[in-house]
Amino acid sequence: MGSKKKVTVGYRYYLGMHLAICHGPVDALIEIQVGERQAWTGNLSASGRIEVSAPELFGGEKREGGIAGSVDVAFGEPTQAPNDYLQAKIGTPQPAYRGVLGLVLRQIYLAANNPYVKPWAVRVKRCFRDWYPAKAEIAGAANPAHILYECLTNAAWGMGYPSASLDGASFQAAADTLAAEGFGLNLLWLQQSKIEQFVGEVLDHIGGVLTTSPSTGRFVLKLVRADYSPAALPVLDPSNVIELESFQRAAWGETTNELVLIYSKPETFKETSLTVQDLANIQAQGAVVSQTRRYPGITSDALAARVALRDLAAVSTPLAKVRLKVNRRAWALTPGDVFTLTWAPLGIEGLVLRIAALDAGTLAEGAIGIDAVEDVFGLPAASYTAPQPSGWVDPVPAPSPVSPRRLLEAPYWDVARAMSAAELAYLDATDCFLQVLGGRPAAGALHYEIQSKTSSASTYDERGQGEFGPHAVLAAAVSQAVTSTLTYHSEVDLDLVAVGSYAYLNDEVVALTALNTSAKTLTVSRGVLDSVPVAHAAGSRLWFADGFQGVDPTEYAVGETINARLLTVTGKGTLALASAPTDSLTMGRRQNRPYPPGNLKINGVAYPSVVQGDLAVTWAHRDRLSQTASLIAQSAGNIGPESGVSYTLRIYGESGSLRRTYSGLTGTSQTYTLAQDAADSGLGRPNAQLRLELEASRAGVTSAQKHSVSFERAGYGLRYDQYYGGI
């Protein structure tokens, strides 16, 4: 429907770039995100080249393009050679960048219509496997004991201690416990904080203590767990306690009864939260006292719940705290160790305490100072707190095939309204145009692109775009009528429908005159434009096409078969051509065909079920060239007729055989007498049932649709028992 000129609407941008990510090598590259959208995913475990193919990542070339091209992934191995692309672009000598994980973008397609580089992010996996590799990884995360081991021993960015300075047995025991608990961490250290601070963060996550052994001087890793028997613990009592400096137990008002734990969501690594409460404490205090703790390395919902309960037990219980001085018999105790206290003057018998801080004293004064707290810090083995779902649903869906869909040949009504008077005068009688109707496949889908080709062509061409159209399903069958009230269900986007517009009910075109969305009913004028009323079964689809047609402006020839694919466009891109179903339609010169006559009546009745006596068939002229201002109802009087139009009336008998044809009719009536019926039937009587067909013709071209009306005959011995006394 008109010419299509190509214009420049934007530019594609390409970029070569070297991105230094982190210390390397790593175990694997898992994902690349650009602008917080996934551009590539896989499991690359060594240096190599990957192909990023996400040209629709930001909406395709109609919006902000996407990412596509070759990317070299350099893991930073000790034998890594200089990158050939960097050598070609920057020159030699070129560093090999060993010890650094990097990405080299080899002039990749970066965007369309947007000259700004969106932020890049990568997801990598790295677990320290040089020590105790069997337990280095826990469900895709790193074992915290291994994280601490490397922080202490790494000479490049860690503390650089020799491995001999670590108590390997304690670290291995902690690694085994953490693996059994499923306590893996995903943590990122940016070196913006001291390594000691990062170590403290890991210890906070796992509930651990890192200390040195007074006997060996080695680093010892202890986990605060209920992994002891109280009867086997060291006992501090008046025999070895020099002085009990203080003993106090917290009041309920000093405790916390709600804990909000902030951790990282498993799928996105973005922050989320979990809340646990001690209901008994809340009742005791009469109010909610809340505390927030942040554990970004936890990426498991179940583990987050267990850690939240661990911390809640510590802050919601009125624990006893003691400060005491003991003699050198307690020389082997270190922070994190557990002992029992017996102190008769205060009625204390076998109270289990854990050392929080320890002052080893001096050579001149042998007393050891201990600060301890009642032990309830064990990590629960199971959690009965289910993680709360976020309730958030991504409003931007991935593009999926348009469903439902329909192809149409454009009627003259749409052609005449789309073209100027000059273009319409130039229109060839055999020109045909394709229209498409598509339903929104998912909320958030924006529109669709039209790709089409003739059946003889090898490739599809983009023809434009279309808006998703409203549609519904017929709830009950409907018979032939001049007007009908329809009931519907399974409606989509019906809030976009306007009274006065037209719709397709199968191949019949109907004009909407009233709509009640509460009752799910709509009233329509039947058989408008170039269609006629026919019966429709329940389940038929109703397409509200007026203003929602996607248009292919290509001029096709009569008899050509057109293949079309509709490519859904969302904020995440455009559906791939290969993923779109193919629909086909053969062109039939619809826009040039004369309109069928309207206002068909038999003996003065539209669509009668029974007729008596002679048949007086009447109709009204229609003119497609004149009917471009408003939708004309079936019951309207004469319009036109279009020059050169004549009518053909066919009469079929009760056996379905053609009995008489009236062709070349130019008037608006024709009578078929009872005597003619009896003579034509070959039965010696009139037919007990008849069917009439009425169509328009012009210059060898017939109307796209024709009237077909079936009815029974009554009287003169026909069905006398059914219509006694008349019809």
Which residues are CB-contacts of 422 (< 8 A; sequence separation ≥ 6)?
none
Q: How confident is the model over 571-609, as pLDDT tens digits?
A: 888 898 999 999 999 999 999 999 999 999 999 999 999
Q: How many CA atoms lie within 13 A of 622 on its CB side?
A: 31
- Distance of alpha carbon 528 from alpha carbon 176, whole angstroms: 79
Which residues are CB-contacts of 228 (< 8 A; sequence separation ≥ 6)?
338
Residue 531 and residue 634 in contact, taking contact as beta carbons nearer than 8 Å:
no
The beta-carbon contacts of 379-384 under 8 Å, at least 24 apart in sequence, are: 379/181, 379/183, 379/207, 379/225, 379/306, 379/307, 379/310, 380/306, 380/309, 380/310, 380/313, 382/306, 383/302, 383/305, 383/306, 383/309
The pLDDT of residue 594: 97
| Residue 383 pLDDT > 50 | no
| Residue 621 pLDDT > 70 | yes
| Residue 303 pLDDT > 50 | yes
User: Model-level pTM greater than 0.95?
Assistant: no
Q: How confident is the model over 538-567, as pLDDT tens digits?
A: 999 999 999 899 999 999 999 999 999 999
Q: How far is CA 143 from the centre of its chain?
A: 34
CATH of span 598-714:
2.60.40.10
Q: Which CATH class for the 405-469+548-592 domain?
A: mainly beta
| Residue 83 pLDDT > 60 | yes
pLDDT classification of 390: cutoffs 50, 70, 90: low
Do 225-250+319-380 and 598-714 have matching folds? Answer: no
Q: Which CATH class for the 225-250+319-380 domain?
A: mainly beta
Domain spans, the chain: 12-125, 133-223, 225-250+319-380, 251-318, 405-469+548-592, 471-543, 598-714
Q: How far is CA 701 from CA 413, 599, 704, in A?
A: 18, 21, 9
The pLDDT of residue 595: 97
Q: How confident is the model over 23-41, as pLDDT tens digits?
A: 989 999 999 999 888 999 9
Q: How far is CA 384 from CA 20, 205, 307, in A?
A: 43, 20, 12
The pLDDT of residue 525: 97
